[in-house]
Structure 1
Amino acid sequence: MGDQERDRRWPLMWSLALSTLRHRASAFAAAFVAMLLGAAIVSACGGLMETGIRLAVPPQRLAGAAVVVTGDQSYALPKADPEDEEEDVQYGLLPERVPLDPGLAGRLARVPGVAAAVPDTSGAGAVQAVAVTAEDGTDTRELAERVERAVAGSAVVLTGDERGLAEFPEALAARENLIVLAAVFGAMAIIVSMFVVAATLALSVQQRQREMALLRAIGTTPGQVRRMVVAETMALSIAAAVPGGLLGPVLGGWLFDRLVDNAVVPGVVVYGQGWLPAAVGVAVSLLSALIAALVTARRAASARPAEALAEAAAPPVRTGAVRRAAAVTCFAGGVALALVTVLFMHGPLVSSTAGPAVLLWAIGLALVAPTLVKAVTSVLARPVLALSGPAGYLAVLNTRAGTARLAAAVVPVLLATGMATANLYMQTTQTGAAGRAYAESLLADLVVTPATPDTLDQVRAVEGVAAASEYVTSTGYVDAPHDAWQREEGWPLRGVSAEGVEKTVATTVIGGDLRQLKGDTVALTAVHARNIGRGGVGLGDTVTMRLGDRAQVKLRVVALLRVETGNEMALLPASTLAPHTTAGAPSRILVRAADGVTREALTGELRRLGLEVQGRDALTAAFGAAQNTQAWVNYLLVGVIVAYTAIAVVNTQVMATARRRREFGLQRLTGSTRGQVLRMTGVEALMVAVTGILLGTVASAISLVPFAIAVDGSPLPSGPWGIYAGVVGAVAVITVGATWLPAWLVTRSRPAEAAAALT
C-alpha cells in the first residue's frame, strides 16, 4: 500500500508543480534565466575544452602528405622517484622546434606503402618534419602504424587535421591554455551558478511563504511541500537547461573568436564542439538546481503550520547549523590558503592558491549572509535616517522586517563585487610586478639587431659603448638532481655574454662570478639552487638541464643570484643556449652607454654601421604585450562570469520588487504618494547595494592582501583605484536600476487595484 501511495504522490506533485509554473510564470522567470545562462556558460567552457583536446589544425604546405612525422614537443618532467609508478607524470611543452634525425627521411622512404618521404628544412636548416606520401591503394591508418613502428618513439606521427601541428607547433600551447582555462572557469561558473540559483529559489519560496503556510495549515505534510518545491524546480530546470545547453556552442564560438582575435589562440586552430559539452552543461545545470531545490525545500517544509503562518508575515533571520558549519569550513580553507600563499608561494604559483581563496571567502560570507546583513543594515540605519528623511525611515523599517528577503538580494551583489574586484586586482598586481621586475632586470640602454659574432665585436668597438652582450631567451627544465619546484611551464632561460652581462642585465651576485659564464655553465638564483636535489646545489656542482629543443646538457654552476620576485630565471652563455633555439642564433644585442654618452648620440653611431637600433623600451614593450595577452584572457572569462552574476543581481532585484505590488498599494492607500514609495525603494536599493559591496570588498580584500604580499611585498595590490570605483559604480547602478524600474512600473496602477492583488 505504501508503494502504491508513493506512486500516486509524485504524479500529483508534478501536476501541481506544472500548474504552479503556468500560473506563476513571472515568479519563476529569474530562476529560469539563471539556470539557462548557467547551462550555457558551462556548455561553452566544455566546448573550449573539447577544442583544446581535439586541437584540429588543418595542414597547409603539407596538405598533400598522408602522414607527417615531426619532433615530440612534449616533455615528461622527471619524478622524485623514477621507480614510483603511482606518482603522476607531469608534462611540459618545449618552446623550440625539436629537430629530427637527418637520416630519418631515408629510413621512412623504405617503409612498405611509402611513395616518398620528403624532409622539411624550412626553418634554420635542421629537419623539422618529414612529409610521407602513400602509394596508391595504401590505407592511411595502416601506413601510420607502419611509420610509428619505424620511428620507434623518436618522433610523433600525425594524420588528419593533426598534420598542421608540424607546420604550426605554437598551436600546441593553445591546447593547454584552452583546457586549463575551460576547467578553471567552468568550475567557477558551476559554483557561482549553484549559489545564484539557490539564492533566487530561496527568494521565490520566501515570497510564497503564505501559500506554503496555508498548505501546511490544511494538512499538507512536510514531505509533500518538499516534493512540490523539488518538482517545480526540476520542471523549471529542464525547461531552462536544454535551451541553455544548446546556446553553449554559440557562446563558446564567440569566446573562441575573441581568443583568436587577441592572439591567445592561433587562428589556424579550428573550433569544434560536439554534443557532449552541451549534455554536460544540461546535466550540471540540472544537478545544481536539484541541490539548490533540496536545500530550499528543506527550509520551506521544516516549519510547523502555525510557525509557517507567522513566518509568512515576518520571516525569521537565522542561519542553520549546516550553513554555519559550511561557512566555517570555507573560512578555514580561506585562512589556510592565505597562509600557504604568503609563506610558500612565489612567482606564477601565487595565483594557484589565491584564486580559490577568493571563492571560498565569498561563499563563506554568502552562507552567513542573513546574520551579516542584519548587522550591516543596523550600522547603516543611523546615516540613512539622518540623510533621507521619511523615505529612509520607511526603508530602514522594511529592511529590519525583511532581512531574509534582503539577504537573498545581497548575495549576488556580494559575489559580483568580490569576484570582480579580486580577480581584476590579482591580474594587475601580477602583471605590474612582473613588468617592473623585468624592466629593473635590464640595465641596457639600447637593443641592436641583427646579432652575430661580427656584429657584437663591431658594437663593442664603437666609442661610447660601455658594455654589450648577446641576448637570447628560451625555456628549459632541470633533469637532475630532482627539482621539486619545477612546473610544467619550465624555467625562463636567458643567454648572455660573460663580458657584458653585469652591465646590461641587473643581477645581484651573492656567490661565484658571472665572468666565468662560458661554455657549459649556468648561473642560478639562490632560492632555486636551494630547492634542487635533497640538499640543494652550490658553486661547482653540476646540473643536468633539458633545453627547449629537447637537447640534454650538463652545466656547471658558476654563480648564484638574487633576483626580484617575478623575475626568476637561469643565465646561460648565449653561445650555449642559442643553438638550441628555433632561430639557432642570438636574437639581439644589449648595449649599455658609457657615462656621459646620451642614448641619442650612441644610437646615431650604431646606425652608421647599418644596424637596427631601438631603445630598451622595445624589450619591455614586447614583454608587456605578452603579459597583457594573458591578462586579457582572464579579463574575458572572468567578465563572462561576473556578467552572469550581474544578470542574477538584476533578476533578484526585479523579482523581489515586483512581488511587492500589494504592499506598495496598501502604503499608498494609507497616505503615501507614489513619489514617496519610489524614494523609499530607492533607499532600500542603495542599502542592498552598499551591504553587498561592503561584504564583497571584505571577501576580495582578505584574499588580495596575502596575494599582494607574496607577489610584491606590499599588502596593497597594484592597479588603479579606478578599477574598484568602476566595479562599485557598475554594481550600484545595476542594483538600484533593477529595483527602482520595477517599482516605477508596479506603482503605475491605482492603489486600490494594487492592494487587492494577490501578489
Structure 2
Amino acid sequence: MTAAWAMVRHRFASFAGTFVAVFLGVAVVAGSAALHLSSRPQAPARYDEAPVLITPPDPGTGDDRDRQSWTAEQAAALSTRLGELEGVTAAVPDPWFYVQRVEGGRPVGDPQTALQDGHAWSSATLGSYRLTGGRAPSAPGEVVLGTASPAGTPPSQTTAGGTRAWTPGGEPKTGNTTGPTSESPARRTTFGQQAGPGRATASGTVEVLTSAGPEEWRVTGTVDGPGFYVSDREAARRASGVRVLGLTVTGDPQRVADAARAVVGAAGVVRSGAERDALEPNAVTRIRWIGAQLLIALVMLGAFATVFVVSSTCALSAAQRRRELGLLRAVGATPGQVRRMMYGETALIALVAGLLGAPAGMVAAPLLADPMVRTGLEPAGFTVTWQPAAFAGAVVLGLFVALAGVTAAARRASRISPLDALREAAADPRSMTPARWVVGLLCGAAGAALLAAMPSLPLETRSSAGLGAAMLLLSSAALLSPVLIVPLVRVVARPWRSTATGMLVREGTLTGVRRVASTAAPVLATVGLTVLLAGTVATIEVATGIDETARYPAGNVLVPDGTPGLSAAAVTAQGAEPELTTRVLISRGDRTSGMSVTGRGDALILDRISAAQLGARGGDTVTIRFADGVEAKLQVAGVEDESSVPRSLVRQHDPDALTGMLVLTKEAVAVPGARSVPIHEFVMAEIDEEGQLIDLFLLALIGLTAGYTAIAVGNTLLMATAARRSEFRALRLAGAGTGQVLRVVTVEALLTVGVGAILGGLVAVVSLAGVRAAVEDEIGRDITLVVPWGATAAVTVLCAGLAVIATAFPVLKTAPANS
C-alpha cells in the first residue's frame, strides 16, 4: 500500500480518468439512491386520523386494481361490529366516486385525481376535516365543497375520503361514531393552489361532471379539506362498492388493530402503521414506479460505465508503464505484489473519489425533486430526505466497481516478464489477444445468427431479438476494433496520403492501433447505442401509429377532453350506446383472474389469454365479482380477441364506469368533457403521450452514456498524447512548428472519433434494419426506417470536441518558449 500511495502522489495525472469516472459514478448512484429511497408509498392524507384501516381480502392476483370491494350492506355490517370495539371512536366505510368541476363549460383539475374526488359527508372524520361554513349536505344535489383544489393537490392528497359507520340509507351509526362539525379539531394541510373549490363559499351552485353527465349541485357548506362531499345516501348510490374502512381510535392503535383482526377474520385485511401505505392510489404508485425505473437504469448504467472507463484507463496506463513495471519485476517484485500495487492505487483513488462524489450526489438529489415532479416521474409533494444508506452504499459500490475495472489490467501487468519489458520497443505490441479474438468472433457470429433467424422467430419476440442481436454486434465491433481500424484508416486517409500531415497522421495512427482502438471503442459504443435506441423507439412509434390507425375506420372519434373518460350523457348525445370500461374478478374453480372488460352487448365474452388462464371455453359457467362487490354466475358465450360483459350489468354494478372512446358515424354533438378529433390525430396523441416519457428516458440514458464516453475519450487521448511528448519534440527539431504539430494531433483525434462513429453507426443501422423488418412482419405493413441523425451528430460532435481539446493540451504544454 505504501508503494501504491507513492505512485498515486507522484502520478496523479495518470489516474485522473479513474478519479473522474468514479466521482461521477458515485455521485450518480448516491443521488439516484437518495431519490429512490425518499420516494416511498404513503397512505392518502384523507386517512391521517385513521391509524387503523381495513380493506377487503386480496384475491392474490398481484394487481392492486384487482382488490375486491365490499357491498354497501357488507361494509355497513362490518363497521357496526368494529364500532363496538373498545378504543374505537368511529368505524367509517369509505366509498368514493368520480366528480369533476366544470368552469366555463370545460372540466378543470387532474382527471386521474377526479376519479376519487367524490365522498360521503361522514368521510371527513377520517381526515379530521371540519366544516368551515354552512351546513352538511342532506338531500340529493347538495354538496359541501373542499376549500383546497383537487387540481392543485398532490395525487396522494387529492381526496378526503372515508365514511363513518352508515347504512345503505345513509343514516349514521349511533353510539361512538361522530361526524365532522365546525367544532371538530382543525387539521391544517397545504393542498396546493386555491382554484376551483378553493374559491367556493357556503352558498350558490357549482357545475360538475360525473359518470352520468353534467350536473348542477347546490353548495350548502365548505370544509377545510379537498374534494366534494355529498350525503351518505347519495355517496352509496354513486360509488362502486367500498374498498376501505377506517377506524379513529383512542389509546394504542396496535391494540385496536389486533382486536379488529379478531372481528374481521377472513372478511378483510387489517392494516396499521406502515401497512397503511399499501393504500396509496394506483396513479401515484405508477408515477413512483416510472421514476424508479429511470433511477435504477441510471444506477446500473453508471456502474457499468464506471467499470468501462476504469478498465480502459487502467489498461492504457499499464501499457504505458510496462517498462516501469518491468523494472519492479527486475528488482524482485512478485506478480502478486504488482497486482496488489495496482489494486491499491485504484482503491485509494476510488475511495477519495467516492468520499467526494457521494456528498455531491446527495446535495444534487434535492435539486432534482421538482424537475422529476414536473416531468411526471414523482408525485406532487415529493421531497428528498437524508439517506445514510445511499451515501454509504454509493461509496462502497464505487470502490468495488473500480476494483472490478482494474482486475484485467492488474492481471495482465503481473504477467510482464522483466527482460521482455526492458527490451520492448516503442511501437505498440500486438493489440489483439487470443481471448479478444475468440470473444469478438463469437459475439459477431451470435449476432449475425440471431439476425438471420429472426424471420423464423415468433412475431412477439422479433423486436427483442433484434435488439439483442444489435448489442452482440456492437460488442463484437468494439472487441475487434483494432483489426477493423487498420483498413478503415487506410481508406479514410487515402485522399491526404501525399501530404506531410496526412502521412504523419496515417502512419502514427497505424503504428498506435491500441491507442486508437482505446479511443474509438467508447465512441463506437455510444454512437451505436444512440442510433439503435433512438432509432428503434422512433421506428416503433411510426409502426404503432400505422397499426393503431388501421384498427379504426376512417373518420372521427369522440375522446375525453380533460376528463378520465366519456360520461354516459356524452355518449348518448351522439346517439350511441356507452361501451363502459370496468375491472372485474372472474373465477372458475380455484382459478381467479382480474381483467379489464368492456360493457357491451348482452353476453359474456372472454379474451383468449384469460380463457386459457381460467381453463374456460364457450358454454362454461364462471363467477364474476363486479366493482361493487356483488357476485354473479354467467355462462361464457364465446372466446374472442377482447373480453366483454353485458352492458346492463356493468352499469348496474359499476355506476362510476366511463367510456374510453367512441367512433363517430355522424357529426359530433358538443358536450362538456368530450371533443371530436380525426382518428389519426387521436392515435398519434396517444403515442406522443407515451413517447414523451420514453424520450425522457432516452435523454437521460444517452446523456449519461455520452458523458462517460467523453471522460473515456478525453482521458485516453490526454494520457496517450502526453506519453508522446518526445515524439512531438522530434517533430519540432525536424522543423515543424507548434501549429503544425497541433494540426497533426487534431487530425489524428478527429480521424479516431470518425472511425469509431462510422463503425458504431454501420453496426447500429444494420441492426436497426433487422428490427424494422421484424416490426414490418409483426404488423404486416411497410414502415419507414428512422435514423436519429440529430442525436447521432450531437454525440459525435461532443466526442470530437473533447478529443481535440485533450490532444491539444499536452502539445501546448510541451511547446518551446520561443515557438
- Matching residue of 1:641: 704
CA contact (8 A) 2:481 2:521 kept: yes
Aligned to 2:33: 46
C-alpha contact (below 8 Å) 1:481/1:532 kept by paired residues:
no
Tell me which residue corresponds to 2:526: 416
Shift of 1:199: 0.9
Q: In the alignment, is the contact (CA less than 8 A) between 2:617 and 2:636 conserved in 1?
A: no
Give the aligned residue type for 2:75: P
Q: Secondary structure at the match of 2:8?
A: helix
The letter for the 2-side match of 1:68 is L
Distance 1:696 1:224, change over 3 A: same
Tell me the CA shift for residue 494 of structure 1.
6.0
Q: Residues 433 and 329 (structure 1 numbering): CA distance in 2 closer, same or farther, change over 3 Å?
A: same
Residue of structure 1 in register with 2:516 after alignment: 406
Please point out which of 107, 117, 131 is paired with 2:81: 107
Mapped to 1, the partners of 2:686 and 2:591 lie a distance apart of 26
- Shift of the alpha carbon at 1:482? 11
SS, match of residue 578 in structure 2: strand
What amino acid is the match of 1:112?
E
Are the counterparts in 1 of residues 18 and 313 from structure 2 also a CA contact under 8 Å? Answer: yes
Deviation, structure 1 residue 664: 2.0
Maintained 8 Å contact 2:75/2:242: yes
- Give the corresponding residue for 1:83: none
The answer to whether 1:495 aligns with 2:605 is no
The 3-state SS of whatever aligns with 2:574 is: helix
Equivalent position of 1:688 in the other structure: 752
Measured after TM superposition, the shift of residue 66 of structure 1 is: 1.8
Distance between the aligned counterparts of 2:485 and 2:249, measured in 1? 72
Kindly indicate whether residue 153 of structure 2 is the aligned counterpart of residue 69 of structure 1. Answer: no
Matches within 5 A, 1:297-696: 297-311=410-424, 313-327=426-440, 330-331=443-444, 334=447, 358-383=470-495, 385=497, 389-443=499-553, 445-447=556-558, 456=571, 458-460=573-575, 468-473=576-581, 493=596, 495=598, 497=600, 517-522=601-606, 524=607, 528=609, 532=612, 556=636, 558=638, 560-561=640-641, 570=643, 574-575=647-648, 583-587=656-660, 589-593=662-666, 602-603=667-668, 606-607=669-670, 612-616=674-678, 619-620=682-683, 623-648=686-711, 649-696=713-760
Per the TM alignment, residue 383 of structure 1 is displaced from its structure 2 partner at its CA by 4.4
1:105 Cα offset (Å): 2.6
Contact 1:95/1:475, CA 8 A, preserved across alignment: yes
Which ranges of structure 2 fall in alignment gaps of 5 or more residues? 98-237
Tell me how far 1:33 sits from its aligned partner: 0.6
Q: Is the contact made by 1:216 and 1:304 (CA closer than 8 Å) also made in structure 2?
A: yes
3-state secondary structure, aligned to 2:389 = helix
Identity of matched residues, %: 27
Deviation string 1:450-483 (CA, Å, 9 cap, x unpaired) is 85667655533xxxxxxx4534446778866999
Structure 1 or 2: more helix by fraction: 1
Partner of 2:657, secondary structure, is coil
**In the superposition, relative to structure 1, how do residues 520 and 572 fare at CA in structure 2: closer, same or farther (>3 Å)?**
closer
CA distance in 2 between partners of 1:152 and 1:543 (Å) = 26
Paired position in structure 1 for 2:126: none
Q: Is the 8 A contact 1:210 1:313 kept in 2?
A: no
Query: Partner residue of 1:119?
Result: 93
Q: CA deviation at 1:689?
A: 1.2
Checking the alignment, whether the CA contact within 8 Å between 1:57 and 1:269 is kept in structure 2 is no
> How far apart, in 1, do the equivalents of 2:616 and 2:809 lie?
73
After superposition, the C-alpha distances for 1:316-335 in whole angstroms (9 at most, x for unaligned) are: 13333344444456556656
8 A Cα contact 2:43 2:279, kept in partner: no
Q: Secondary structure at the match of 1:747?
A: helix
Match of 1:239 in 2: 352
Distance of 1:307 and 1:118 partners within structure 2: 84
Shift of 1:404: 0.9
Aligned in 2, Cα 1:190/1:20: closer, same or farther, shift over 3 Å? same
Q: Distance in 1 between matches of 2:354 and 2:672?
A: 65
Q: Aligned equivalents of 1:548 and 1:703: distance in 2? A: 47
1:240-296 deviations in Å (ceiling 9; x for gaps) = 123333333345555554432122332255545622233333233222221222200
The 1:122–1:454 alpha-carbon spacing in structure 2 relative to 1, beyond 3 Å, is closer
Cα distance in structure 2, aligned partners of 1:456 and 1:610: 11
* TM-score normalised by length of structure 2: 0.70
Q: Which residue of 2 aligns with 1:500?
A: none
> 1:290-301 to 2 correspondence within 5 Å?
290-301=403-414
Task: Give the aligned partner of residue 177 of structure 2.
Answer: none
Q: 1:131 aligns with which of 210, 230, 246?
A: 246
Per-residue deviation at 1:373?
3.1
Aligned to 1:278: 391
Greater mean deviation of Cα atoms: 580-589 or 118-127? 580-589
Which amino acid in structure 1 is aligned with residue 604 of structure 2?
D
**Partners of 1:112 and 1:616 in 2: CA distance:** 61
Matched residue, 1:732: 796
For normalisation by structure 1, the TM-score amounts to 0.76
Residue pair 1:469, 1:589 contacting (<8 A) in 2 also: no
Aligned residue for 1:748, secondary structure, equals helix
Equivalence for 1:226: 339
- 8 Å contact from structure 1 (residues 543, 555) kept in 2: yes
**Residues in 1 aligned to 2:459 and 2:581: alpha-carbon distance in whole angstroms:** 21
Shift in Å, 1:634: 2.2
**2:45 counterpart residue number:** 60
Q: Contact 1:448–1:589 (CA<8 Å) still a contact in 2?
A: yes
- Residues of 2 paired with 1:385 and 1:572: CA distance? 76
Give, in angstroms, the shift of residue 232 of structure 1: 1.0
Q: Once the 2 structures are TM-superposed, how far is the Cα of residue 68 of structure 1 from its aligned partner?
A: 3.0
Per-residue CA distance 1:718-754 (angstroms, 9 max, x = gap): 6743x2x223322332232223224433333564579
CA distance in 2, matches of 1:164, 1:471: 34
| Partner in structure 2 of residue 513 of structure 1 | none
Residues 419-456 of structure 1 show CA distances to partners (whole Å, capped at 9, x for unaligned) of 22222223223333334333332335231778566765
The SS at the match of 1:94 is helix
Q: Deviations over 1:183-221 (max 9, x none)?
A: 444334333321221112112222333433443455544
Contact 1:230 1:290 in 2 (8 A): yes
1:65 deviates by: 1.9
Unaligned regions of 5+ residues in structure 1, if any? Answer: 1-13, 78-90, 461-467, 498-516, 562-568, 594-601
Q: Is the 8 A contact 1:422 1:703 kept in 2?
A: yes
How far is 1:307 from its partner?
A: 2.6
CA distance in structure 2 between the aligned counterparts of 1:286 and 1:259, rounded to whole angstroms:
29
* Deviation readout 1:592-626 (Å, 9 max, x if unpaired): 23xxxxxxxx23xx23x889542245743652354
CA contact (8 A) 1:50 1:273 kept: no
User: 2-side partners of 1:380 and 1:51: how far apart?
Assistant: 52
SS where residue 497 of structure 2 aligns?
Answer: helix
Over the aligned positions, Cα root-mean-square deviation in angstroms equals 4.1
Q: Residue 470 of structure 1: SS of its match in structure 2? A: coil
> 2:439 & 2:651 partners in 1: Cα distance?
54
Equivalent pair of 2:33/2:390 in contact (CA under 8 Å): yes
Shift of 1:32: 0.6
SS at match of 1:655: helix
> CA shift at 1:34, angstroms?
0.8
Q: CA deviation at 1:717?
A: 7.9
SS of the counterpart of 2:18? helix
For the residue of structure 1 that corresponds to 2:81, the secondary structure is helix
Measure how far apart 1:627 and its partner are.
1.2
Change (3 A) 1:272 1:610: closer
Count of matched residue pairs: 665
Matched to 2:808, the amino acid is: W
